[in-house]
Structures are given as C-alpha cells and as structure tokens.
Structure 1
Amino acid sequence: MAGVVGVVAEYNPFHNGHLYQLQQIKEMYPGETIVVAMSGNFLQRGEPACLDKWTRTRQAISNGADLVIELPVLACVQPAERFADGAVSLLAALGATRLVFGAEHQEYDFQAMARQVHHVHGQFHKYDESYARSFQAAITREIGHPVDQPNDLLGLAYAKANYRLGEPLELVPIQRVETSYHDETLHQGAQIASASAIRKNFADDQQATPAKKELLAPYLPADSLTDLLTERFVSWDDFFPLLRYRLLSSQIPHLHQIYGMTEGIEYRLQEQTQRLPGDLTFEQWVKKVKTKRFTYTHLARLAVAVLLNISGAEVKDYNQAPYVRLLGFDRQGREQLAMVKKTCPFPIYSRVSQDDKKKQLAVDYRAGKIYQLFNGSEQDLKRAPLYFN
C-alpha cells in the first residue's frame, strides 16, 4: 500500500519553490498521496494571507497536492512549537507516514536533535532579551551549534512535535534552493524567489498589470500568477485601521484576555497606539511598540489575535479538541479520506453549517468574515471542498 506524505504550508502565494518541493516529493515517493496542512486566511507569522484559502488550495492541488486541509486560525496564532503540534497531529491523524519540509540545512538530523532538546521549553526570565533569543541560546548549548534559520527552526519544532506523539512520522528535509526565507529581492535570471519578495514587489510595483506580469512571471506557475493579478490582494494595510480601532476602543481588562498578552504588553500597545500619528503603517506600528522581550513575529501574531478578538480560553479549547477542515482534494485525496474517516480521532468538517459557526468552528467563521470585508468572497458558509477529478 502506498504511503502518505505530509506537508505544512502557507503558499502565500504558491510559487516555484513550492512547486519544486511537490515535484521532489513525487520523484522520491512516486504514487504516494500528498496531504497539505495549510494555514487559512491568517498565518502563523502574524499576517493575513495575500490570497484567500480557497484560491491557494486550488493552486496547491493544480500543482501536485492531493488533499488540502486548513490549519485553523486558533493553531496559527500560537508560537512555532504549538503550531507544529497542531499541524503534525492533524497530518498523522490523516494517515501521513512522512513529513517533508524545506530546510536551510538538509543534512541536519532534526529528529535526533529533537530528542536532545525535547525538555527545553521552560520559562526564561531574562527581561533584556526575547523568549526566542533565550530559547535559541539554550538549544545551541544542548546541540553544540546554533539552529537559528527560519525553516530549520520550524523543522526542529516539527521534530519535537513528532517526538511528543511517539514519532509516527519520518522526517524528510529538502534543501531550500536559490533564496533565503526573508529575501525580498527578485533576482534576475532566477526561477525561485521567496514569498516575501513576491508579495513585496507586487505591492510596491505601481505599474499596470502587463508590467507586473512580466516582473513576476519567472517566479510563479502560470495559474498562481493569474490569480495574483486578478484576485483581491490582501495585506495588513487593509486590516490595520481595524486593529487600531480595537486597541483604541477596548478596555485594558478585555485586552488582557486576548491570547498572547503577557507581561502587561497590553498597556504599551494601547498607549503607543493612542500617541502615534494616524498615517502610520502596520510595519511602522510594530517597530514603535516593540520591546526587547517581544520579537516582531510575536507582536504580529498578537496583532492578529487582537484583530480577531481571540481569547486564551478559545485557544485552550481548540488545543483540547482539534478538528480537521477540508479545503480540497483530487481523486487520490478523496480515496485517502475514505480510508481514514473511521479511524481519525478528530471530527472532519467538509462544510460549515449554521450550527457549526456557533460552536467548534466559531472562531474560523469569525476570522473568515473579517477577511471577507476586504476579500469580498464568502469564506465558509455554503463553501464545499474543491474537487479535482
């Protein structure tokens, strides 16, 4: 019986680097089913997706994925290790036997490193540096070398999650090629650019569509390029006025209940937002409210939680009762679903009913409605999983 390969992704947007990864999987494991756990309309790095989850699902399946499920927003607002727990547990529940991910150092034995450092998750009380910096220093001491590149850190988080589950998945890192995760430059003559570079150059380029098409064509599959040029492109610039409103109008006790609010940061967020000029961008705001204890990514995720009014209690409820939300599949993906439906320990949702939107899917529904304010397309009600024959 053919195996199942799991992938954790954002596809923000789906580009040639993602295509390369799926092609590598098909070459290494021909005939195996590829299941993608994809962040929905808000991402773990603390930003709205530039294209909605349905568009990105279509791109993924058109380019080689067999089954795409949504990583709920309650997983995506959590730090990397808890996010990884959610992704790995869902993939394992759907029958994945391998987890393939991009890494800056393909040669690392991530599972062996996870066994070394699985106990490193405690509290760090050095108030002149961030938790992330303290955590990385502890990891370096245990392993003997730094693990500080974005994809390597995620790989280690997946490995630790896999360890906690009893190592049901074989971890398969694939070397990240041609560009770094945070590189915002479109390199002439290259075929792969980071998602950050594609988004930045798309947003910054004020030229007409034909010029943008020529600029971005080398780095994206044709269908992804068409979507980027024709669908509503969404960014923090759209949502930032709503975030400011939430911070300015909320009482401190309410802000304190938002997931991720610690060490009294709610006072600083509100006070700085009250003082700062009205024409500030989201990126400028993050720099103004930042302190040594909080990374930019932590604050961006916190901003998403504020925007969507996500409480710590809601996150706790999700962690205790995860679920699977189907976004799309092809014939092979449908066959895999049929095989695991009776054994999957989590409920599987293919549609959102009027009842679901008030219960387990309430926060995803709320996030979809807020995203819809700028995307203009219904994200949940009456949306069935995309099917590709």
Structure 2
Amino acid sequence: MVVVGIIAEYNPFHNGHLYQLEETRKLFPRAVFVVVMSGNFLERGEPACVDKWTRANEALHCGVDLVVELPVAFCVQPADRFATGAVLLLKKLGVQKLIFGAEHASYNFKKLAQQVSDVRGDSVKYNESFAAAYQRAVEKKVGHAIDQPNDLLGLAYAKANLQLGDFLELIPIQRKGAFHHDLCLEKDHSLASASAIRARLAKGSIKEIAAYVPQITSVDFATRKLITWADFWPLLRYRLLTAPYEELRNLYDVTEGLEYRMKQQVQKLPLEADFEDWLGAVKSKRYTYTHLSRLAVIVLLQVTEEEVKSVSKNPYLRLLGFTPKGQKFLHKLKKRADIPLITKASQKLRKKFLSVDYRAGLVYELACMRVQDHGKAPLRITAPSLSRKKR
C-alpha cells in the first residue's frame, strides 16, 4: 500500500491545497492520503480562522483519506521543531512519501538537508533574530539564499527526515499563483494565498473569496465565525497583567528575560490597545513577530516546559476523521502502531496525553462557540456531500 503524507494547516482550505491534492493523485492514483494537520493554534503563533473539525472535514471532502491532529506542543514551534514533530507522526503512520509545496520545487531538498545538517542558526548577537541567523548560516553553506516560507519548511522536513532515519521520499510540488504572503486576489485566477483569503474574510467579503476556495469552504465561511487574535486578546492581556514573573518564566520558551518585557509592555499600553499594539511594543531585532506570537499562544494556554517535553517523549496520534479508504488503512495501522491512537478525549487522556490540546480546545471554544474535544468522535465521511469547485 502506497501511503502519501502531507503536513498542513489548511488555514483555510483553498484551491491551492486542492491543486496539490489533484496533482499528487495523478502521481499516485491508488495511494492513501494521510494529513498531519495543525489544530486550533498554528505554527506562526495565531489561532486558526476556523476550528480543526471544520478544516478536517473540508480536507476529507476534497480528497484526503485520513486526518491526524498535530499536538499543540509541536504546532507552536519554530519550523525545525514543528517539522520534527510532524515528520515523527508521519513515520508512526507508516507514510512513505511526503508531498509539500515549494517556491523552488527543483531544489534537491534531501541534498540541501545533508549540506546543512549541522546548522542550527543559534545567534549570540542580540541585534539579530534566530531566524535571520539560521538563514545566513544556510546561505553560507549551500551558496545561495533559501528564504521563501515553503522552501524553508521543505528544508526543515528534509532535515527532520534525515534525523528520523531517512524513511521518506520527498516530493516537492511547485507552488502556483500567489506567493505565501501575497495579499492580492488576482481576477481571472482561481489561486490565492491563504493570507489574501483571510484578509478578505476579515473585512466580511465572503463572496469575494468564493472563486479561490472549494465550495465546501465557502459554505463553511457563511456559517462560521472567523477567529482572529482579537478574540483572545482580552484573555492574553489578563494573563500577562496578573501572572507573576516567576510563573511566566516557567512557561515554555520564555527565555532571556522576555517575561519582564512582555509584562512591562502590556502594563504601559492604553486600555484601547489591541494585540498588534502589544506585539509592536515587545518587538525587537532579536525577536521576530512570529516568535513573539508563538510566545503569546504559550502564555494564553499556559504551556510549560515540562508539558512540551512530555509530548516529545510520548507522542500520540489524535484522529480527527477518515473516509472508507482511510478506515481500511486504520485497521492495518492499529495492528502495528507503537504509540497511542486516540479517538476520543476521555477524562483519563485529558490528564495525560491530551492535557495541552484539551486546554487549547477549551480556550478556542470561547471564541468559536463550538465544542472541540469533550465527547467528540472522529469524522466519518462516506461520500463528499458537496462537489468540488471546478477550476
């Protein structure tokens, strides 16, 4: 059985993702498509625009066979740690081929990973971010810059694959249409970046994005509230204002005195300030907006160093949904899986494996008003209820 893996956020699921699935299906028409998907909080330190169940359902109706949730402890991480967690789950799932979008699909990502296997990018310069230091070190090693978002993730996947036994065949798919952060919606085109789609949705322009997403995504946006940091800013502000420095210091990745900077800057803000105002106040050359946004999620969810270490040492597979083909694959997986395969967030599991994920779900529920974990069972898709939009 050929098992193809994809690491995704689907924030939201759009025509670019559909294109990737269609192109992959041409290469592997009989394969099982397995997706490891971020849950309700994402790698760039932001809440998902719609909840994980909605996004998983969209993927399953558009060609994916099985969706597994990437634990929050892996999600809210820099690219290398994010990739390591996701690739580890692919290995446990028995995936043989990893498909990913890239700005430069002609790159030999495995070779590049071998060249930079010892590059960590740790910076001792306090006027330079870790991300900038890493990209500078990579460019020095390979002879050219690798600075596009999907290329960097592809390199991170390739490095993680080498570290975990080189079990994957890496298959980059050329990214078409808009760039990752492009905010334009080009007329007469059906491909747009997730950033552009979210920007239009934030303005309430649901009809504007209909041409750029499958029909099921359009329907979901008509019935779901768009979630942004604005929904959680009051909670984050409260946490920062009331938590003692020592408590903040014990949270994951709060280092180099950031507990003081985060707390002191929020105390200086006027009452009408928002999340972006706080980010701008805390920002420095040492820390990118993305790094600080991830820390904001850590503070919001009160994720400790011990909890992250626990998930890394004891990974698990949290099932979000499957099709009939995915169900057949699951029957085989259950016989050989050497880590827990979780279908429901029982009380026992909430205290053990799912403590951070369950907490994240409770917080996200406050904004989306839809139950995320308690009593939820995996989605079972027998047939697509909505046709895929023709492009």
TM-score exceeds 0.5: yes
Stretches of structure 2 that go unaligned for 5 or more consecutive residues are: 383-391
Is the CA contact 1:94–1:337 (under 8 Å) kept in the aligned structure 2?
A: no
d(CA) in 2 for partners of 1:201 and 1:254?
A: 38
Q: Which residue of 2 aligns with 1:217?
A: 210
d(CA) in 1 for partners of 2:287 and 2:253?
A: 11
Are residues 1:367 and 2:355 paired? no
Is the CA contact 2:121–2:137 (under 8 Å) kept in the aligned structure 1?
A: no
* 2:258 paired residue among 257, 260, 265: 265
**Displacement of 1:313:** 1.1
Q: Which residue of 2 aligns with 1:70?
A: 69
d(CA) in 1 for partners of 2:23 and 2:313?
A: 35
* 2:296 paired residue among 273, 281, 303: 303
d(CA) in 2 for partners of 1:213 and 1:361?
A: 34
Tell which deviates more after alignment, 229-238 or 37-46.
Answer: 229-238
d(CA) in 2 for partners of 1:86 and 1:152?
A: 18
Q: Which residue of 1 aligns with 2:82?
A: 83
**SS state of the match for residue 101, structure 1?**
strand
**Displacement of 1:78:** 1.7
Is the CA contact 1:16–1:191 (under 8 Å) kept in the aligned structure 2?
A: yes
Q: Which runs of 4+ in 1 moved over 2 A?
A: none
The TM-score with structure 2 as length reference comes to 0.96
* 1:277 paired residue among 270, 273, 287: 270
- Matched AA of 1:53: K
d(CA) in 1 for partners of 2:207 and 2:41?
A: 28
Q: Which residue of 2 aligns with 1:51?
A: 50
Residue by residue, what CA displacement relative to the aligned partner does 1:14-70 show, whole Å, maximum 9, x if unpaired? 000010011111011111000000000000110010110100010000000000000
d(CA) in 1 for partners of 2:374 and 2:201?
A: 30
Paired residues for 1:112-123 under 5 Å: 112-121=111-120, 123=122
Q: Which residue of 2 aligns with 1:244?
A: 237
**Displacement of 1:122:** 5.5
**Displacement of 1:232:** 2.0
Give the length in aligned residue pairs: 382
Q: Which residue of 2 aligns with 1:99?
A: 98
**Displacement of 1:281:** 2.2
Residue by residue, what CA displacement relative to the aligned partner does 1:252-287 show, whole Å, maximum 9, x if unpaired? 010001111111111111111000112222223212
d(CA) in 1 for partners of 2:274 and 2:8?
A: 27
- Matched AA of 1:329: F
Q: Which residue of 1 aligns with 2:316?
A: 323
Is the CA contact 1:98–1:171 (under 8 Å) kept in the aligned structure 2?
A: yes
* 2:350 paired residue among 326, 344, 357: 357
d(CA) in 2 for partners of 1:316 and 1:10?
A: 23
Q: RMSD of the alignment, in Å?
A: 1.0
d(CA) in 2 for partners of 1:47 and 1:278?
A: 22
Q: Which residue of 1 aligns with 2:186?
A: 187
The TM-score with structure 1 as length reference comes to 0.97
Is the CA contact 2:316–2:339 (under 8 Å) kept in the aligned structure 1?
A: yes
d(CA) in 1 for partners of 2:64 and 2:107?
A: 26
Paired residues for 1:191-210 under 5 Å: 191-205=190-204
